[in-house]
Amino acid sequence: MTTVTQSVPVQAHPSPTVLSALRNPKILLREVLAGLVVALALIPEAISFSIIAGVDPRVGLFSAFVMAVVISFVGGRAAMITGATGAIALVVAPVMKEHGLDHLIATVLLGGIFQLVLGGLGAAKLMRFVPRSVMVGFVNALAILIFTAQLPNIIGVSWLVWPIAAAGIAIIVLLPRLTKAIPAPLVAIVVLTLVTVFASIAVPTVGDEGKLPDSLPTLFIPNVPVNLETLTIIAPYALAMALVGLLESLMTAKLVDEVTDTSSRKTREALGQGVANIASGLFGGMGGCAMIGQTMINVEASGARTRISTFLSGVFLLVLVVGLGDVVAIIPMAALVAVMVMVSVGTFDWHSITPSTLKRMPVGETIVMVLTVVIVVATDNLAIGVIIGVIAAMIVFARRVSHFTNVSRSIETLPNGEQHALYAVEGELFFASSNDLTTQFDYSGDPELVIIDMTKSHVWDASTVAALDSIETKYHQHGKRVEIRGMNDASQAFHGRLAGNLGSGH
């Protein structure tokens, strides 16, 4: 029994299931209230993203409702929030501007199909290639974007917004020290709304962001010609939407995994995003992906851990905007600003920028982290920043590994007095390390026989085979013979297949 306990790590606080949450009133209340907080935060976000995409606010709100409900059933990451997002809005905006709503909805539907295909092909497994430095940069950039997104709500408006937002931050910080039974963000929103209403304080409200819908979403079939011309128009945008949506969703899922110390099914999440986008399009929504800010509100600020909060965030959103639109409209934006500011503070990895961490961290990894942050903030696109960050990390890794290859030379004399040069090659040989391999040999000074011992090396790519071909060619030009010995089976098979077939060897 002792052996089993030591060899299998047991999670201290396992994440509750939907059934266990339904049986536990305390956990269920936490999930319900978390869903309500997220729904309140979703409203201005969805309206803002609708404006970015050039569509009616109802399109973004209905998309958020449909995607949240659908993903709660088919997604692979519990407690993660999915809805209309800025990144997707930016991708599909040109379609709306140039071709109209029907082509936009067709793009969303095709984007969902692309995500199903990519998910089925195992695109989610590529997440293992995202290094920690890029992940930290992603998280820090996210925190900065969440914060900067609040600036329009506190700059150029009534000075009263500042003390209201400050009061909201104080409630969110101090209330958990007294009780965690009710999410502090919800208390802040309710209290500040009551204060502004009863004190007749004139500040920007949710209603100022755009008109809320007064009816339920209905089935929407885009009226577009089903032909090659239509496909040519929407396919590039649909593919971009699919890739950006998957990348942001899978990065968010990985972040939630770390925050909650649990695991999730990334392939199921990729497939679920496809299903959710198709459902969104069928009800006239603009599509979307995982919403990182709202997910952090749900998981960190509100403590949610199950699909119940995700499902209820969509249900509450619909109830609030359709049934209680007049009440929601009076919520001060300053209250939501306070929530999002604290989310950004909690999201940022402050440990990553402390002097002690920066001193210990390899310079290359710090550069990758900073580059990821800069690109994301500059482009306002998390996907572009992550892709460039991964490429930068690959370059840093290649440069580091390239220095691990070592070539040592010795001259051995046989009993009959003949000599040969012995070159011992150690390390991993690929394009970054093998490009300099040809410079490590003394072509004119070596005896007639040259032996290259590769017992402690491995051939990984065609660049290395080409380098070995070039070495043999150079020795032959000096009238000398080369023998390559000690290759392992994999290297021997690879080298044997390509040697002499990659050009002249020069």
| Model pLDDT for residues 262-297, shown as the tens digit of each residue | 989 999 999 999 999 999 999 999 999 999 888 988
Quickly count: other Cβ atoms within 10 Å of residue 300's Cβ: 16
pLDDT exceeds 80 at position 107: yes
What pLDDT is attached to residue 14? 64
The span from the CA of 334 to the CA of 155, in Å, is: 11
Tell me the pLDDT band of 307, cut-offs 50, 70 and 90: very high
- Alpha-helical (H) ranges within 126-182 are 132-148, 161-178
What pLDDT is attached to residue 110? 97
pLDDT exceeds 50 at position 3: no
Q: What values do phi and psi take at 428, rounded to 5?
A: -90, 125
Q: Specify whether the CB–CB gap between 304 and 79 falls below 8 A.
A: yes
What pLDDT is attached to residue 404? 67
The span from the CA of 506 to the CA of 78, in Å, is: 57
Q: Which of 313, 332, 292 is nearest to 209 (CA)?
A: 332
For 138-148, the pLDDT digits (tens) are 888 878 887 88
The per-residue pLDDT of the chain, averaged, comes to 87
Across 48-52, 78-82, 200-204, 445-449, the highest mean pLDDT is recorded for: 78-82
Q: Which of 228, 221, 308 is nearest to 38 (CA)?
A: 308
Q: Specify whether the CB–CB gap between 90 and 381 falls below 8 A.
A: yes
Q: What values do phi and psi take at 450, rounded to 5?
A: -125, 125
- Alpha-helical (H) ranges within 261-350 are 266-282, 292-296, 307-318, 325-328, 333-347
Tell me the pLDDT band of 505, cut-offs 50, 70 and 90: very low
pLDDT exceeds 70 at position 8: no
For 408-440, the pLDDT digits (tens) are 999 988 787 789 999 999 888 888 777 778 888
- Residues 6+ positions from 141 with CB-CB distance below 8 Å: 372, 373, 376, 377, 382, 385
pLDDT exceeds 50 at position 2: no
CA distances from 179 to 175, 486, 502 (A): 6, 68, 70
User: Which two tokens mark 317?
Assistant: 């959103």
For 448-473, the pLDDT digits (tens) are 999 999 999 999 889 889 989 999 99
> Tokens 């974007």 map to which residue?
145
For 191-242, the pLDDT digits (tens) are 999 999 999 999 998 888 777 787 888 999 999 999 999 999 999 999 989 9
- Specify the pairing of strand 289-290 against strand 406-413: unpaired
In eight-state DSSP terms, residue 159 is: T
pLDDT exceeds 80 at position 257: yes
